[in-house]
Structure 1
Amino acid sequence: MSTMTRTKPEAPAATRNLVEMNWDPITRIVGSLGIYTKIDFKNREVAECYSTSSIFRGYSIFMKGKDPRDAHFITSRICGICGDNHATCAIYAQNMAFGVRPPALGEWIINLGEAAEYMFDHNIYQDNLVGVDFCEQMVKETNPSVWEKAQKTEAPNAALHGYRRISDIMTALNPFTGEFYREALLMSRLTREMFCLMEGRHVHPSTLYPGGVGTVPTIQLFTDYLVRLMKYVEFMKKVVPMHDDLFDFFYEALPGYERVGQRRVLLGCWGSFNNPDVCDYTYERMTEWGNAMYVTPGVVVDGQLVTTDLVKINLGIRILLGSSYYEDWENAETFVQRDPLGNPVDKRHPWNQTTIPKPQKRDFQDKYTWVMSPRWYDERTGDYLALDTGGGPIARFWATALAGKVDIGYIKATGQSVKIYLPKTATKPEVEFEWKIPKWSNAIERDRARTYFQAYAAAAALYFLEKVMAEVHAGRTKTWSEFKVPDEAIGCGFHEAVRGVLSHHVVIRDGKIANYHPYPPTPWNASPRDIYGTPGPYEDAVQNTPIFEENGPDKFKGIDIMRAVRSFDPCLPCGVHMYLGGGKVLEVRHSPVFGPFGK
């Protein structure tokens, strides 16, 4: 069990001077993300944290009454970064509601497109955005002593990535001028081209439809994809060992750094890459085809795999309120009382949610954000768990590793790790990487998993290409199946957006959408304190995080806080704004006396 605890004060009556420091906005996804903190500089830790979102989007409201066939086109616009993930997930929900099964080739093409999206987005986020938090300029400014040590530390994998010292890696990460920074930008262009070959355009696909795809399958098309993929595979052979050296160095240079962004291991993964040999999109067989995914769905609690059953995962989802700007829908209509298997569906399940916005002034003692609080109900304990995605990859790896179900030659889940095989490329020999279940769910390990998952996505794409070529050579070139929109139906789609769990739930009545609720990873990660007072993952991970930055309050940059939040990949950090200066003392707290017999 991995937990974060606050150290008791050593002095019998320690005084805490809490300084308020706020970052708003940090990122933009579904609204603007703001992090509001109270920092104890004397004890060098974050005392309190609140995650806020200042914009209401309302997709669940204006989807009502729309033609169900338009769901993927509309919901793709939820995000300008991972719109294709939404389109794909919407299509999965449509396929179930419409009772249609795409041809195998159509499914493999979607898998290739989504693999390219993982490669593209993780590459540009990790190497051009997160990487800046570890670059020479940032480390010099926030931890000069760490920079000095980096200049004297040899990189263990220098022969694989070409950077002799850790300081050389940091310099290569400098924005715009760094060698690796620029190389990563070129790779993001290649991977975006790969995506467009499969899904038409980035980021809102033009070739994805319920029942399959409109992509024209040719040998030339897939060869163009493969040529770019192999360049990316070669790039990965440099990236993985380089990031391992960098992240391992931070543990060595700053003892205790594992506590930055650390929280209890509560991870959710909804699975990715459907297997067309098994997946028929029927709810009745969802357990079976969910377990056949090439990224295994799962809920991990305290390091233990609770379930890989998509039916149980679906039924366990609860949308709680608490600190959100909404009215309760307890007295609203219940759309779905039982699922197709006869299981009861909770009033707080997305199928039954009614969105009733209630704008009001921000109050951190009451309501303070537009984000609701998705939770997963653990029927074993009766707890509503604030699952996080860890930015996507760490949850995907943890669930897939423990489940041990994936074994496709290029990838093998062992029960405690995931092995990734990459073949020989132009200038580099074949290699096998192994992601091992870490000791912690923290900032560093979330970032490390993101690096390894780039290699995972590339390996999966190699496998999918083999399957695609087999279909084309056999003459099975159909990519789309006909369907009819039913008058009454329900459907659900489960997928992994780049940064984590993604679900779409739809209710159809009279041939129109009666209820629709998409839940991407950001509401899970950025959720506020719920009705039970449980903080959301950002809040939980930042609260009690130790401060290693060497600057005082007057020049404080909050780099440890930023690394903690960005490790979750809260979409793109398009801007960071902060109140600089000495801050202001909000209150003086006197800690209770801890004697030999307790309080």
Structure 2
Amino acid sequence: MSTATNPSRVSKSGSGNLVEMSWDPITRIVGSLGIYTKIDFDNKVVAECHSTSSIFRGYSIFMKNKDPRDAHFITSRICGICGDNHATCATYAQNMAFGIKPPAIAEWIMNLGEAAEYMFDHNLYQDNLVGVDYCETMVRETNPGVWEKALHSEAPHAHLHGYKTIAEIMTALNPFTGEFYRETLQVSRYTREMFCLMEGRHVHPSTLYPGGVGTVPSVQLFTDYIVRLMRYIEFMKKCVPLHDDLFQFWYEALPGYEEVGRRRILLGCWGSFNNPDHCDYTYQRMDAWGNEMFVTPGIVIDGELVTTNLVDINLGIRILLGSSFYDDWQNSEKFVEKDPLGNPVDMRHPWNQTTIPKPQKRNFDDKYTWVMCPRWLDKRTGDHLALDTGGGPIARFWATALAGKVDIGYVKATGHSVKMLMPKTATMGEVEFEWEIPKWSNAIERNRARTYFQAYAAACAMHFVERALAELHAGNTKTWTDFKVPDEAIGCGFHEAVRGVLSHHMVIRDGKIANYHPYPPTPWNANPRDSDGTPGPYEDAVQGTPIFEENGPENFKGIDIMRAVRSFDPCLPCGVHMYVGNGKTIETHHSPMFGAAHG
């Protein structure tokens, strides 16, 4: 991340100046994310934020008229890091549309592959990408006062992870030279091997199909997975307490740091890890089998779990336009009038969406991004809620904990927490971790949940591999169910990509795809102000964030802003740049603490 050398000042009446600063691109694997802000350095707060994306990809357009059997292969290419999540979600939608149920062992194999993906991706992102924001090099440059405190702050769990002080942890996170940073690179290697054992290759799986998998189950296959899984579990016994020490330190070192990246608790989780004992992929039973997932679907509003019903979740999805570069499709063809249960389907639902791109010049007072505005309609209030995924894990945990439905020995949801049992490993005994519902949905807690969910995925994988071996020993080795593509059908798949909610909606006519809309987590998190003027989650989390960085405008890194945005795990290629134009002056007549600064 480079430093601003020519910040653009925006003067105002009253105290202090607003300074325009932009980070563009902030990238993680696919696409291009830009964050544009106005910062009040006198009051040390971000006054205004806009989130932009400069890339249009158009999968919903070129999926039309394709063979429905190819949906998972094509949509896997949406992303170069979570392609398997798309392939998995697409096969779920295909299974529903084709009216098929895979054999149980195929489901356990898919669950093992997805569990490995969570372990791999969360590990890599947490310690090799977002962890850099908390490393010694960054902290010394942006908050030398905090570094001094870290030097003299003992790590409470030093006996578990081996680092005596918080400063030692920060040093261990330094890119390429830090001990823990290098260790996590090795972890990402064998977790990717775990994935490939189940799904053939990473990141575009070669063994996933509608109806099952092409993976050949054997004792050797599952043993190879278990060997790596136990190594990972031993690593987690060190990793969880290390991150707990680091993140808790920030609350203590900088009182008020809980406000960085904080927004209203509006969390969405679509559920993950289907249970073949209950899941038959019929829409009519989607509520029942959805509630048997090993990650419970749910929507959490202000700390309340308002539903775990996938049918309700599905019917509440709305795609608004607002500040996006598209024309409205309100008068276009309606593909689905009613769902299979007879419920009316809204025109702004993904089944009925038509993508009509309209390129234009970016204007923050009008249209400024290619990201649409997914919202969820709360029928109790009539509000279109800007749900976020919190980067995935915090929403998954919050919904699962409150629902209290999961109890499989290795993991248990209690109604207020989620417990994870880490079995005995080579050099360490049995350990139980417990993720407890936090006070806030903020940058620190999003990151903390990511660490705990690595342990959760590993604990779930223990259950999955035991069930897969039981099927194998019982002689149930068939991994695929035959099917025929219907002439007319609809289907929907619900899953959790690494960084949050993922849905695929498909309409089949004349044996071909007539409409297809995949919605991964980034549109939910990175969307702009909608047609009601409601900011998207990135914008909302950054706008109002206090500035704790000790650098002034001339050397400002924007580290608190970066921590807020990165806590959501934005899925776009990795590299951060700051640039500032020649500058302009705008007169405003109200406090930037309360609302946007308009010209």
C-alpha distance 265-592 of structure 1, shift in aligned 2 (>3 A): closer
Question: Is 1:250 aligned to residue 250 of structure 2?
Answer: yes
Aligned match of 1:591: 590
Give the aligned residue type for 1:64. Answer: K
- What is the match of residue 205 of structure 1? 205
Tell me the equivalent position of 1:407.
407
Shift of residue 45, structure 1, vs aligned partner: 0.6
Whether the aligned pair in 2 keeps the contact of 1:15 and 1:588 (CA below 8 Å) is: no
What letter corresponds to residue 519 of structure 1 in structure 2? Y
Q: Matches of residues 185-264 of structure 1 in structure 2 within 5 Å?
A: 185-264=185-264
1:218 deviation in Å? Answer: 0.4
Q: Is the 8 A contact 1:265 1:301 kept in 2?
A: yes
Q: What do residues 83-132 of structure 1 show as CA deviations (whole Å, max 9, x unaligned)? A: 00000000000000000000000000000000000000000000100110
Q: Secondary structure at the match of 2:400?
A: helix
**Deviations, residues 322-356 of structure 1 (Å, cap 9, x unaligned):** 10000000110000000000000000000000000
Worse overlay, 24-33 or 360-369: 24-33
Letter in 1 for 2:381: T
Q: Tell me, what secondary structure is at the counterpart of 2:133?
A: helix
Secondary structure of 2:306's match? Answer: strand
Give, in whole Å, the separation in 1 of the partners of 2:79 and 2:354: 22
Q: Which residue number in structure 1 is paired with residue 342 of structure 2?
A: 342
Contact 1:64/1:515 (<8 A) preserved: yes
- Partner SS state of residue 577, structure 2: coil
CA shift, 1:586, in A, is 3.4
Q: Verify the 8 A CA contact 2:31 2:573 in the aligned structure 1.
A: no
Offset of 1:383 from its aligned partner? 0.3
SS at match of 1:31: coil
Q: Aligned pair in 2 of structure 1 residues 30, 330: CA closer, same or farther (>3 Å)?
A: farther
Please list, as runs of the form range in 1=range in 2, the aligned pairs for 1:463-482 lying within 5 A after superposition.
Answer: 463-482=463-482
Instruction: Confirm or deny: 8 A CA contact 2:327 2:356 kept in the other structure.
Output: yes
Shift of 1:366: 0.1
CA separation of 1:342 and 1:503: change in aligned 2, threshold 3 A: same
Is the Cα contact below 8 Å between 2:32 and 2:572 reproduced in 1? no
1:34 and 2:34 equivalent?
A: yes
The Cα shift of 1:579 comes to 1.8
Looking at structure 2, the residues matched to 31 and 163 of structure 1 have their Cα atoms a distance apart, in angstroms, of 37
- Is contact 1:208–1:214 with CA below 8 Å preserved after alignment? yes
Q: Does 1:367 align with 2:367?
A: yes
Unpaired runs of 5+ in structure 1?
A: 1-12, 595-599
Amino acid at match of 2:203: V
Contact kept, 8 Å, 2:525 with 2:537, in 1: the verdict is: yes
- Alignment of 1:49 with 2:49, yes or no, is yes
1:332 maps to what in 2?
332
Deviating more after overlay: 147-156 vs 567-576: 567-576
The alpha-carbon deviation at position 31 of structure 1 amounts to 2.5
Shift of 1:435: 0.2
Deviation at 1:584, TM superposition (A): 3.8
Aligned partners of 1:125 and 1:572 also within 8 Å: no
Partner of 1:5: none
- Shift of residue 571, structure 1, vs aligned partner: 1.7
Report the counterpart of residue 453 of structure 1 in structure 2: 453
Contact 1:17-1:588 within 8 A present in 2 as well: no
Deviation, 1:18, is 1.1
Distance of 1:435 and 1:593 partners within structure 2: 36
Alignment-mate amino acid for residue 108 of structure 1: W
Distance 2:380 2:187 in 1: 45
Measure the CA separation in 2 of the matches of 1:38 and 1:337. 44
Aligned 1:510-529 pairs, distance under 5 A: 510-529=510-529
Partner deviation per Cα, 1:264-293 (whole Å, 9 max, x = no partner): 000000000000010000000000000000
1:557 is aligned to 557
Residues 550/584 of structure 1: CA separation in 2 closer, same or farther (3 Å cut): farther
Corresponding residue for residue 504 of structure 1? 504
Paired AA for residue 465 in structure 2:
L
DSSP-derived class of the 2:247 partner: helix
User: Residue 482 of structure 1 aligns to which amino acid in structure 2?
Assistant: D
Aligned counterpart, 1:96: 96
Corresponding letter in the other structure for 2:590: S
Residue 280 in structure 1 maps to residue 280 in structure 2: yes
**SS at structure 1 position matched to 2:576:** coil
Identify the range of structure 1 (245-254 vs 29-38) with the bigger mean alpha-carbon deviation.
29-38
Kindly provide the amino acid, as one letter, of the partner of residue 196 in structure 2. C
Contact 1:214–1:479 (CA<8 Å) still a contact in 2? yes
CA distance in 1 between counterparts of 2:128 and 2:16 reads 37
1:543 aligns with 2:543: yes
What's the secondary structure of 1:432's corresponding residue?
strand
1:400-446 CA distance string (max 9 Å, x none): 00000000000000000000000010111110000000000000000
Give distance in 2, aligned partners of 1:573 and 1:355: 24
What code does the residue aligned with 2:411 have? I
Query: Quick one: distance in 2 between partners of 1:572 and 1:393?
Result: 18
**Aligned pair in 2 of structure 1 residues 593, 69: CA closer, same or farther (>3 Å)?**
closer
Q: Aligned equivalents of 2:110 and 2:397: distance in 1?
A: 21
CA distance in 2, matches of 1:593, 1:44: 11
Q: Verify the 8 A CA contact 2:32 2:573 in the aligned structure 1.
A: no
Partner Cα separation in structure 2 for residue 592 and residue 395 of structure 1? 33
Contact 1:30 1:57 in 2 (8 A): no
CA distance, structure 2, for counterparts of residue 29 and residue 500 of structure 1: 16
Aligned residue in 2 for 1:62: 62
Residue-by-residue CA offset, 1:220-246 (whole Å, 9 max, x unaligned): 000000000000000000000000000
Q: CA RMSD in A?
A: 1.3
Decide whether the 8 Å contact of 1:334 with 1:347 is kept in 2.
Answer: yes
Distance 2:592 2:83 in 1: 53
1:589, CA displacement in angstroms?
3.0
3-state SS of paired residue (1:155): coil
**What is the aligned residue count?**
581
Asked if structure 1 preserves the Cα contact closer than 8 Å seen for 2:47 and 2:592, the reply is: no
Q: 2 CA distance for matches of 1:387 and 1:259?
A: 19
Match of 1:153 in 2: 153
Gaps of at least 5 residues in structure 2 are 1-12, 594-599
Quote the residue 1:432 is aligned against: 432
Structure 2: distance between partners of 1:18 and 1:368:
21
Question: C-alpha separation between the residues in 2 aligned to 1:30 and 1:184?
Answer: 23
CA distance in 1 between partners of 2:309 and 2:410 (Å): 24
Matches of 1:471 and 1:555, distance apart in 2:
60
Letter in 2 for 1:46: V
Alpha-carbon distance in 1 for matches of 2:26, 2:380: 37
The CA distance in 1 between the partners of 2:592 and 2:52, in whole Å, is 34
Corresponding letter in the other structure for 1:280: D
> Contact 1:129–1:573 (CA<8 Å) still a contact in 2?
no
Contact 2:391 2:568 in 1 (8 A): yes
SS at the partner of 2:517?
strand
Q: 1:315 — aligned with what?
A: 315
Secondary structure of the residue aligned to 1:81 is coil
CA distance in 2 between partners of 1:424 and 1:334 (Å): 56
Superposed CA deviations along residues 168-212 of structure 1, whole A, max 9, x for unmatched, are 000000000000000000000000000000000000000000000
Aligned-partner Cα distance in 1 for 2:339–2:580: 52
Residues 15 and 590 of structure 1 are in contact (CA less than 8 Å); yes or no, is this contact kept in structure 2? no
Alignment of 1:119-130 (within 5 A): 119-130=119-130
| Letter paired with 1:369 | T
Contact 2:22 2:580 in 1 (8 A): no
Identity of aligned residues (%): 81
Describe the SS at the equivalent of 1:586.
coil
